[in-house]
Structure 1
């Protein structure tokens, strides 16, 4: 082969390869849903970053969850996933439950004051000093019946002994729910020997401690790669562990009626499984009702995303100009059509991904900003200043609390403003 022929062939191959690597245009304008929501926000919105919750979608999610809940189990709302008093109360009414799972001491004090009929289970073991702060901040006029309606979560003999001393000091009685390690390996009891030692402490102090049940969180069951084990196998393993502790209580403490104990389980990832079968009679979930990105898993296929971040576009520029690399501006748009436009939005750097319009992306060379996030898109993204960019949160519990309030929408139009929990 002649050298000239070889070089020509190599150049052709190189050109074809380059063309194959050239990014394609990913941009598109709003779909009908976000076009309507955008117009509503432009007409009546606060023109700042906001969390949106679509109540029509959430109502459907609540209905889906209720259909999954078997007759022998009750639904408990995970407050950290829906951290707004109005949102929590809305779900309580729609789902027909007064059961809440709380993970934060200030939230616990708020609920004791504002929702005095709530049946509360702590979702994690609190330092005993946090429990003391709870009692110290109840206030003299508080009507909450904490000795009847509040369950403290305990994960060790050392902690139950700390709580016993606090109960004696305050002259109160504390209901004790025991955390089980059912495969997540994030703490909790791992053997009936540990259970035996804790039950001995509880039963020796009936005036201050009362055994109320178990909590076994099994989020891992829906997240194993199939090559390791199937969802059904993982769920059965978790249930077998849970049942071994329940059997111990039945055998060694028959005075407890199982249907009167709070046998808590599930969580959004495994709710569908626990709703059909399992030992738990008290099932927790929250995130599935708003379905952030982390909950795009097979067990939640029947739920729809109901929450979004919306924020106004502050600036729209043609091309992509990076400080210090101005001379490469032509290359940015020549090589990548998705850099034909630059948008700067109000705020940014949230735990979220761009949802609408289609084809929005950050720019790694420019970097991120919590003040004015830099976004690239193609000319096929037909937006202007004062239109809104929509993002889908990775999770609800932390992202919602970055905002002072939640904007609810009904029929794709603004309905109300709900405050988020503070603390």
Structure 2
């Protein structure tokens, strides 16, 4: 009997230890109300009478980011502003003025048609079907005085198409060659292909070679296994230098003053001006969505948010009828699922940022109409309060909410119209 009792005691003790372990592993209750910054933005929105999902840009943070980027480049290279990542003419104008540059990179025909009358120095950021180039010249047949418009060309076949367009329209075209520096998303990937394109170029006086463009987004995205990041960057620089040398040998002095465009927001800090590359493309980093929260961009601040009202705050988060027991069990385990906040809209390419401790409900699912966010209740949200999201990226997202609200000095000071949504 004594032995049985000891077994029972030991078993009960074991169960107790497991229970204590489970309690220790239980998620802690977390969350808080808005901090002073987001409380100020929320107050400004409410004073402006804004009660629908709205894209907000903090102008002071935007200016600080642009100035920091210019300081980081340090005059060693030129800065080209990426229009697709800042899709508002007023926003682009503001950024160009802060950066003291007139260089734009454009990625779509509609944006090119909107921007080309006002801006002189434009490089296409992706190869466009020759039909798109023909459509551009139908819409804007007269050349803009002093404009340099560089069409991006990625293959001999596309170059031949643009040659035929130049002949048909009796129009001189500037062509910039896209080179593959390791991303493997297309572009010239061998000396033989480049040589073939140079032969086409030399045979057509209406084509003028204007430079190279090499995009290296893969460098900071690949797993850094055994120094893979540095090897990828070294390869990108070496490949760029080799293609530039080949062109300079073939074209002589004219090639030395060309546009040698490189990088993007994730990688611009990796260039110090020591190579042939003479300009860097940056756009997304200036407003800094969450996809750009990287060590290389730690000196920049988030400058854009989605603000949306809270529509409903039921006293307890309840899963729909029939499976309520699942929600009850989840709430017993995780006290951060106790409260639900139904917001105006939702399901954006964005993540809740304030008040802290909110999250989408994996049990309830998403909605573009009245998305539910769950929390512990420490957020102290009420109906008509504002929840803030950070977009993961700026392109496309900035075009989903109508006019962009500009926040500055504690107020909504103006509204910027976004450009037409386009791929």
Report TM bin, short chain: over 0.9
Unaligned runs of 5+ in 2: none
Aligned residues: 416
Q: CA deviation at 1:72?
A: 4.2
Q: CA deviation at 1:47?
A: 0.8
Unaligned runs of 5+ in 1: none
Q: CA deviation at 1:335?
A: 2.9
| Residue number among 47, 50, 53 corresponding to 1:46 in the alignment | 50
Structure 2 Cα separation of the partners of residues 243 and 332 of structure 1: 57
Residues 347 and 366 in structure 2, CA contact (< 8 A), matched pair in contact too:
yes
Structure 1 Cα separation of the partners of residues 220 and 278 of structure 2: 20
Q: CA deviation at 1:123?
A: 0.3
Given the two structures, how large is their TM-score scaled by the length of structure 1? 0.94
Where does residue 399 of structure 1 map in the other structure?
397
Where does residue 169 of structure 1 map in the other structure?
168
Does residue 235 in structure 1 map to residue 239 in structure 2? no
Query: Where in structure 2 are the equivalents of 1:4-403 lying within 5 Å?
Result: 4-113=8-117, 115=118, 117-138=119-140, 144-145=144-145, 148-206=147-205, 208-229=206-227, 231-258=229-256, 260-324=257-321, 325-326=323-324, 330-403=328-401
Deviation string 1:1-39 (CA, Å, 9 cap, x unpaired) is: 644224302321231132123221121111111111111
Structure 1 Cα separation of the partners of residues 325 and 218 of structure 2: 50
Residues 319 and 342 in structure 1, CA contact (< 8 A), matched pair in contact too:
yes
Deviation string 1:306-336 (CA, Å, 9 cap, x unpaired) is: 1111101111111111112345665454332
SS at match of 1:256: helix
Deviation string 1:250-298 (CA, Å, 9 cap, x unpaired) is: 222214241x201111111111122454321121100110111111112
Structure 2 Cα separation of the partners of residues 307 and 277 of structure 1: 33
Structure 2 Cα separation of the partners of residues 269 and 275 of structure 1: 15
Structure 1 Cα separation of the partners of residues 59 and 31 of structure 2: 29
Residues 404 and 415 in structure 2, CA contact (< 8 A), matched pair in contact too:
yes
**What value does the CA root-mean-square deviation take over the aligned residues?**
1.8
Structure 2 Cα separation of the partners of residues 86 and 57 of structure 1: 16
Structure 1 Cα separation of the partners of residues 36 and 110 of structure 2: 41
Structure 2 Cα separation of the partners of residues 176 and 155 of structure 1: 10
Structure 2 Cα separation of the partners of residues 415 and 131 of structure 1: 38
Structure 1 Cα separation of the partners of residues 303 and 365 of structure 2: 29
Distance 1:391 1:149, change over 3 A: same
Distance 1:20 1:198, change over 3 A: same
Structure 2 Cα separation of the partners of residues 24 and 276 of structure 1: 49
Residues 320 and 342 in structure 1, CA contact (< 8 A), matched pair in contact too:
yes
Structure 2 Cα separation of the partners of residues 193 and 74 of structure 1: 30
Q: CA deviation at 1:228?
A: 4.0
Given the two structures, how large is their TM-score scaled by the length of structure 2? 0.94
Deviation string 1:336-385 (CA, Å, 9 cap, x unpaired) is: 22122111101000011110001001111211000000111112111111
Deviation string 1:114-138 (CA, Å, 9 cap, x unpaired) is: x1x3310000001111112211222
Residues 47 and 312 in structure 1, CA contact (< 8 A), matched pair in contact too:
yes
